[in-house]
């Protein structure tokens, strides 16, 4: 049983909305969480109350082996373009705000095609494709795909309307400076209190839909910054969780999550936990327990608030009779975040809920591992904890109501674009941006998988690389490398998805095949060269 928390059910927005006319083509609602772990939400085994995501999953399907790229901006580049992130120009990091510590706005442009720090013009975004097909295109939240020079902003990459942040992180309570808010192409002053990004992003998403004046379908991309650091949440939400995490600690929470995941069929009972990297909860002092439990409570509150706001959008669409013909995706950009790689997290207790903070005031390595239960490691790395994401996909009018059925066919971020293209009947262009050649999509549509008609794998090989962390998967065999100097490891994920038993020395022929395919992929898809030779 999941622990019982008390929470208010989401309510329908009080805006006066203009009714949308029915259309055959589906609306598309793409929701991305930021730095959220695989097992944080209820329908993936978590104890955090997420009733709206749970009901969304009951209308659709849950993927058990869907993957991201292990880092925020590369993930968004791949998601938005249907390409590998290196092809789109963001193999490493996107552009950062300019400040005293970072005076060079173009430091993330390494002078090579795969590492420009912004989306290039040989790719198209989902918004650009759907806009050409008559869709209204809206975005709220975190862009993180280029911020210096207006041509890199959302409105110049296919979106009709945008409200959110161009940078990669911000204060939830008072976004400001280089990490401030924009509305369309206008930079906004810091907002007055009370303010909270998760609520405000949803307000604007609903506002954009309210102000739509015709019955054409829409594409809405909602990129929450929750639950990315800094730890900032509504006090009434935080209070719901403090006692539970203080009484149970990370050992019991982790075990309870895994038990529920096994009962759901999300993981196999024979898979052991990934190797634990921290102390046992009972080894902490009382003051350490108090502070660590509070940090996790704030994180849980961030997830809980995001779910409440997702409920506001689902309620609106349901009230307007649009939910059945809306293709909805929910996923996370990478595994849970352990930054700055301290057991108990970054920043001081006083930094939590400080509106001036936008840095890594965080919950630490131990809770990040809990969030990624039962998988290994976390954000940035190519182990399962870094690249596994929950994916909920719902479209009652198109794929039917599957009552939360599990889909075990493997997929990853490049598959989202072709899935949307097939569902909407849009045309993916060969040329765009004034005649520039557009790279063909590398993903495959998952519509047949979601419907339950496609049971065979859609990819023979799957590939990852970020910051010299690398992986390649074929069937149940996965080779993974940690850093440039790391040795390739080999795991049989059918019996060991938590990556405890390295079989590299036992199956050298399998490892050789996987690595040779990864090397060719890296050469073909702009992983190398990383930096321009001086």
Question: What gap in Å lies between CA 148 and CA 157, rounded to an integer?
Answer: 14
Beta-bridge partner residues of 220: 29, 138
Report how far apart, in Å, the C-alpha atoms of 292 and of each of 232, 250, 347, 400 are. Answer: 15, 9, 12, 43
Tell me 276's DSSP state: P
Cα(378)–Cα(40) distance, integer angstroms: 13
CA distance 243 to 56: 28
What pairs with residue 394 in β-bridges?
328
DSSP readout, 213-231?
Answer: -S---EEEEEE--TTSSS-
What 174-180 contacts at long range (C-beta under 8 Å, 24+ apart), as own/partner pairs, is 174/355, 174/356, 175/358, 177/97, 177/99, 178/96, 178/97, 178/98, 178/99, 179/97, 179/358
Enumerate residues 6+ apart whose C-beta is below 8 A from 14.
none
Task: Provide the β-strand partners of residue 532.
Answer: none
* pLDDT for residue 141: 98
Say what the pLDDT of residue 474 is: 98
Q: Answer whether 84's CB lies under 8 Å from 463's CB.
A: yes
Helix (H), strand (E) at residue 164 = strand 161-165
27-188+197-211+219-524 is classed in which CATH architecture? 3-Layer(aba) Sandwich (3.40)
- Residue 534: predicted pLDDT: 63
Full pLDDT tens readout for the chain, 534 residues = 334 343 333 333 322 222 333 359 999 999 999 999 999 999 999 999 999 999 999 999 999 999 999 999 999 999 999 999 999 999 999 999 998 888 999 999 999 999 999 999 999 999 999 999 999 999 999 999 999 999 999 999 999 999 999 999 999 999 999 999 999 999 999 999 999 999 999 999 999 999 999 999 999 999 999 999 999 999 999 999 999 999 999 999 999 999 999 999 999 999 999 999 999 999 999 999 999 999 999 999 999 999 999 999 999 999 999 999 999 999 999 999 999 999 999 999 999 999 999 999 999 999 999 999 999 999 999 999 999 999 999 999 999 999 899 999 999 999 999 999 999 999 999 999 999 999 999 999 999 999 999 999 999 999 999 999 999 999 999 999 999 899 999 999 999 999 999 999 999 999 999 999 999 999 999 999 999 876
Nearest CA among 433, 443, 278 for reference residue 344: 278
Looking at residue 3, its pLDDT comes to: 45
Answer whether the bond into residue 374 is a cis peptide, omega within 30°.
yes
What are the sequence ranges of the domains in the chain?
Answer: 27-188+197-211+219-524
Query: What pLDDT shows up at residue 532?
Result: 86
Strands 388-394 and 181-183: unpaired
The Cα 11–Cα 31 span in angstroms is 19
Count the neighbouring beta carbons within 10 Å of the beta carbon of residue 180.
Answer: 20
In contact, 457 and 142? CB cutoff 8 Å = no
| Inter-residue contact 387 to 464 (CB < 8 Å) | yes
Which residue(s) pair with 162 in the sheet?
Answer: 139
Calculate the dihedral angle through the C-alpha atoms of 166, 172, 174, 177, rounding to the nearest 10 degrees.
-30
d(CA 359, CA 88): 27
**Cα–Cα distance measured from residue 51 to residue 42, given in angstroms and rounded to the nearest whole number:** 7
**Torsion, CA 395, CA 401, CA 404, CA 410, rounded to 10:** -60
- Of 242, 143, 261, 140, give the one whose Cα is nearest residue 198: 140
Q: What is the C-alpha separation between 32 and 51, in angstroms, rounded?
A: 17
Written as six digits, the tokens of 127 are 């918004």
Q: Which two tokens stand for residue 483?
A: 């850093």
pTM across the whole model: 0.95
Which two structure tokens, joined as six digits, stand for 184?
A: 């369309």
List residues bridging with 223 in a β-sheet. Answer: 32, 141
């Amino acid at each position: 049983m999941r622990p019982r928390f008390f929470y208010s059910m989401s309510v329908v927005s009080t805006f006066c909305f203009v009714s949308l006319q029915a259309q055959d083509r589906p609306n598309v609602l793409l929701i991305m969480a930021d730095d959220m772990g695989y097992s944080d939400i209820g329908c993936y085994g978590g104890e955090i109350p997420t009733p709206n995501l749970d009901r969304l999953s009951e209308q659709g399907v849950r993927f058990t082996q869907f993957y991201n790229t292990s880092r925020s901006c590369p993930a968004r580049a791949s998601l938005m373009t249907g390409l590998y992130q290196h092809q789109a120009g963001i193999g490493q990091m996107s552009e950062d705000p300019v400040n005293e510590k970072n005076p060079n706005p173009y430091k993330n442009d390494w002078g090579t095609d795969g590492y420009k720090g912004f989306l290039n013009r040989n790719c198209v975004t989902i918004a650009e494709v759907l806009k050409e097909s008559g869709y209204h295109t809206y975005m709220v939240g975190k862009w993180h795909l280029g911020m210096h020079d207006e041509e890199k902003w959302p409105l110049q990459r296919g979106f009709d309307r945008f409200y959110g942040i161009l940078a990669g992180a911000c204060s939830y309570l008072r976004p400001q400076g280089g990490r401030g808010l924009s509305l369309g192409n206008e930079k906004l002053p810091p907002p007055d209190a009370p303010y909270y990004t998760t609520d405000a992003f949803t307000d604007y998403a609903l506002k954009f839909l309210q102000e739509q004046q015709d019955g054409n379908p829409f594409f809405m991309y909602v990129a929450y910054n929750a639950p990315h650091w800094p730890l900032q949440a509504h006090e009434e939400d935080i209070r719901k969780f403090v006692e539970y995490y203080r009484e149970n600690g990370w050992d019991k929470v982790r075990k309870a999550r895994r038990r529920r995941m096994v009962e759901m069929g999300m993981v196999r009972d024979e898979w052991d936990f990934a190797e634990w990297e921290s102390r046992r909860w009972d080894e902490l002092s009382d003051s350490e327990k108090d502070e660590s439990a509070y940090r996790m409570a704030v994180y849980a509150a961030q997830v809980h608030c995001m779910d409440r706001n997702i409920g506001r959008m689902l309620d609106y669409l349901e009230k307007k009779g649009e939910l059945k013909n809306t293709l909805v995706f929910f996923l996370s950009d990478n595994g849970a975040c352990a930054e700055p790689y301290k057991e108990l997290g970054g920043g001081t207790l006083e930094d939590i809920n400080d509106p001036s903070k936008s840095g890594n005031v965080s919950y630490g390595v131990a809770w990040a591992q809990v969030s990624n239960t039962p998988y290994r490691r976390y954000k940035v790395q190519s182990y399962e904890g870094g690249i596994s994401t929950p994916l909920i996909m719902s479209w009652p009018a198109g794929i039917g109501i599957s009552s939360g059925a599990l889909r075990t066919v493997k997929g990853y971020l490049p598959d989202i674009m072709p899935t949307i293209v097939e569902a909407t009947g849009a045309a993916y262009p060969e040329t765009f941006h004034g005649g520039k050649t557009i790279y063909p999509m590398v993903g495959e549509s998952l519509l047949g998988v979601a419907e339950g008609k496609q049971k065979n794998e859609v990819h023979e090989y799957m590939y990852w690389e970020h910051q010299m962390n690398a992986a390649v998967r074929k069937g149940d065999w996965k080779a993974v490398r940690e850093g440039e100097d790391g040795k390739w490891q080999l795991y049989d994920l059918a019996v060991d998805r938590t990556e405890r038993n390295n079989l590299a020395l036992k199956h050298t022929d399998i490892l050789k095949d996987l690595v040779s395919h990864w090397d060719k992929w890296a050469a073909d898809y702009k992983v190398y060269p990383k930096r321009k030779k001086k």
